[in-house]
Each structure stands twice: as C-alpha cells, then as structure tokens.
Amino acid sequence: MPPAAPHDALTRSVEDYLKAIYHLSGAGSPAATSDIAHLLDLAPASVTGMVKRLSEQGLLEHLPYKGVELTPAGRRAALRMVRRHRILESYLVAFLDYTWDAVHEEADRLEHAVSDTLIERMALALGNPSVDPHGDPIPAPDGTMAELVYTPLTEVPIGESVQLRRVETGQADRLRYFAEHGLVPGAAVVVTGRQPFGGPVALRTSAGEHLLGAELAGLLLCTRAGAQ
C-alpha cells in the first residue's frame, strides 16, 4: 500500500469523503458506497471511482461486498476535519452570535479554508472545549477523542432525573424545536411518564412539562443528574 497523502495535499472533495465515511462507520461497521453517495448527494458511480482512488492513496480499505473503512491515516485525516468543524461551530456560537441550528452549513464551508493555526487559536479563545454546542465530542489536536457513553432519553426510567449531554441531530428545524423548549446540553430533565409501543415521553424541565415523540426523545442523550 502506498503512503497516504499528507493532510495539506488533500482536496476539499477528499476531505468531505473521509469525514462522511467516518460518520457512517461510527458504529464500527464499514460504510456502504450507496450510503456515502446518499450522504454526499453524489452518483454511486462517482463514489465508486473516488473510493478506488482513496484506497490507492492508503486512506481507505475496501472490503468486498461490505463497504469501506478508514485506514489509520484516513481516520487521522477525518478526525482533523471533525475537529475543525466542531471548533468552528463552537466559535460561531460563542463569539459571533450564531444559533446552534445555523452553524452546521457555515462550518462546512469554512472548515476547508481555515488554517490549523487559526483553528488552534480559536480553540484557545474558547478555553479548549471538549464538546461542541450540540454536545458532540471535539477531537484533540493529536487526533484522539474521548468515547462518550450516554443514555437516550427514551431509555431513562420514569421518575429519574438526568442531564442532557448531547443532541444527536444536525437538522435545523429539530434543533430550533429543542432550543425553544430548553432541551439543550446541560439542561436538567425528569422523565415523568412514557407511553408503550414507541409512544411519547413525558418530561419535566425548568421550563415546564413537555410531551415528546419517541423519535425526538431518542435524539436526546443523557447522563444521570450529577454524573460527568
């Protein structure tokens, strides 16, 4: 296998592919080319050709009939982009008055253009955060990232107090809905009821009582109140 291309030599398209494959293979399974095509809104034939090129560059490993997974070099490059994206989102919210539902596309545009030096200065200005505004973990400069284990709100026992830690969606309309109801990382929540067979979850926050559909409740990840 040839040595992987250095980070500075990667094109925007390659960086997008690596980040997409990282997100699709987050559960430890290979990413299917059809899923990559769907996520990047590209023709499957285009994805097949790029996958072959990235494999030849030592950034991907193609597993016949299963999909692709990142090599160590590909994972480092992908995590570099994830760090850039999440630092940018954090900076836009903290210093430029962006709302958390408006930062994703802006960060997507900026992450390819800014230098590593600027990203690290932004991180320093932010106090080197470990998570972004949505509660997603931010990789460290060396490419390591904490594996955070949270419980979906749908699995929290009735009567238990929890703290929201992460909102597992990038969809602007859902993020706005959560923000309007105070369902943001750091919020204290008590589950007061749950209907069977995938029914809604009743909960209480400082803003009042809420009834949340199971699909939305499953996007809210929590820890027991007081836990880190």
- The 10s digit of each residue's pLDDT in 90-99 is 999 999 999 9
pTM reported for the whole predicted model: 0.87
CATH topology of domain 151-224: SH3 type barrels. (2.30.30)
Residue type, 19: K
The CA distance from 132 to 134, in Å, is: 5
Residue type, 198: G
Residue type, 118: L
Please write the tens of the pLDDT for every residue from 113-149: 999 999 999 999 999 999 999 999 999 999 888 888 8
Every domain of the chain with CATH number 2.30.30.90 lies at: 151-224
Percent of the chain with pLDDT over 70: 94
The CA distance from 29 to 67, in Å, is: 9
Packing angle of the helix pair 72-95, 116-126 (nearest 10 deg): 50
Residue type, 20: A
| Confidence label for 8 from pLDDT (cuts 50, 70 and 90) | low
For residue 1, what pLDDT is reported? 47
| Confidence label for 190 from pLDDT (cuts 50, 70 and 90) | very high
CATH, range 7-70: 1.10.10.10
Q: Which pairs count as long-range contacts for 222-225, CB under 8 Å and 24+ apart, including other chains? A: 222/150, 222/151, 222/152, 222/153, 222/156, 222/162, 222/163, 222/164, 222/165, 222/189, 223/150, 223/151, 223/162, 223/163, 223/165, 224/160, 224/161, 224/162, 224/163, 225/161, 225/162, 225/163, 225/188
Tokens of 105: 């596309």
